């Protein structure tokens, strides 16, 4: 392997791939994924989870780009969004993709959960993956809620204010949770910063960890059978 990697005439990219393959067995992993058998009963409904993951990837890429220009401050947030849409090259496309991918992800994760429920794919031995999926379901909606405030326009401000009133009405934990999210008596600068931190740091880290568990369990247990 060492002679093959260092042989003259091989491009730097090939040498990098060889090094990765030597250390992490990338080619063997890819081969096992590509040659993995798909059960005969699998149809388009079993692709809803993959579509959800694809839309998450679109949001991750477009969100990272927008994070370079967004300013989580009440006096600058709206102007930074306007800059992204109207002055940043292809910024309108990036924000539109992010927004529609978010809507699509919410829809797809609902359909995915319904498919898993009605086909009984949550039953033994897949209880762990069902619980992980429920957490992923909640995090998806948390993404939508925290991202809704970030444009800091009238719709975002008053919509979030009403939403936090609903959260406050939740028995037992409602007032505490609403107070933590709001960061004060009313929606303001602290709320915006906390929603931004959740949207770009806490929620992405959580969903990546849970997706890793989700995919590993699916890989080991295989695709569930038909009804």
Instruction: Please compute the mean of the pLDDT values over residues 86-95 and round it to a whole number.
Output: 97
State how many domains the chain has: 2
- Whole-angstrom CA distances from 198 to 21, 86, 144, 201, 202 are 36, 26, 11, 6, 5
Distance in angstroms (rounded) separating the CA atoms of residues 196 and 70? 10
- Which domain does 10 fall in, by range? 1-36
3 state DSSP class of 114: helix
Bond preceding residue 173 cis, omega within 30 of 0: no
CATH of the domain at 61: 1.20.810.10
Q: Is residue 226 part of a domain?
A: no
Q: Is residue 87 part of a domain?
A: yes
Q: Can you give the pTM of this predicted structure?
A: 0.84
Instruction: Look at the block and give the residue holding tokens 């927008």.
Output: 66
pLDDT tens string 168-210: 999 989 999 999 999 988 999 999 999 999 999 999 999 999 9
Q: Is residue 178 part of a domain?
A: yes
Are 191 and 114 members of one domain? yes
pLDDT tens string 77-88: 999 999 999 999
pLDDT band at 28 (very low <50, low <70, confident <90, very high): confident
Q: Is residue 10 part of a domain?
A: yes
Are 138 and 101 members of one domain? yes
Are 13 and 79 members of one domain? no
Are 12 and 61 members of one domain? no
| C-alpha 174 chain-centroid distance | 25
Neighbouring C-alpha atoms within 13 Å toward the C-beta of 6: 3
């Amino acid at each position: 392997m060492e002679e093959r990697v260092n042989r003259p005439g091989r491009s730097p990219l090939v040498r990098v791939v060889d090094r990765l393959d030597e250390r992490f067995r990338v080619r063997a992993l890819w081969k096992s994924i590509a040659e993995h058998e798909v059960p005969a009963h699998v149809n388009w409904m079993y692709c809803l989870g993959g579509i959800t993951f694809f839309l998450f990837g679109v949001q991750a890429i477009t969100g990272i780009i927008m994070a370079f220009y967004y300013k989580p401050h009440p006096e600058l947030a709206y102007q930074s969004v306007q800059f992204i849409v109207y002055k940043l090259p292809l910024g309108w496309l990036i924000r539109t993709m992010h927004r529609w991918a978010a809507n699509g992800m919410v829809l797809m994760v609902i359909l995915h959960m319904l498919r898993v429920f009605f086909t009984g794919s949550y039953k033994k031995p897949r209880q762990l993956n069902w619980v992980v999926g429920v957490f992923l379901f909640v995090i998806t909606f948390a993404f939508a809620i925290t991202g809704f405030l970030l444009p800091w326009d009238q719709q975002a401000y008053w919509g979030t204010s009403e939403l936090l009133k609903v959260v406050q009405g939740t028995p037992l934990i409602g007032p505490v949770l609403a107070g933590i999210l709001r960061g004060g008596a009313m929606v303001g600068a602290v709320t915006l910063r906390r929603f931004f931190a959740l949207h770009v740091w806490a929620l992405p880290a959580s969903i990546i960890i849970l997706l890793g568990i989700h995919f590993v369990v699916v890989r080991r247990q295989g695709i569930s059978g038909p009804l």
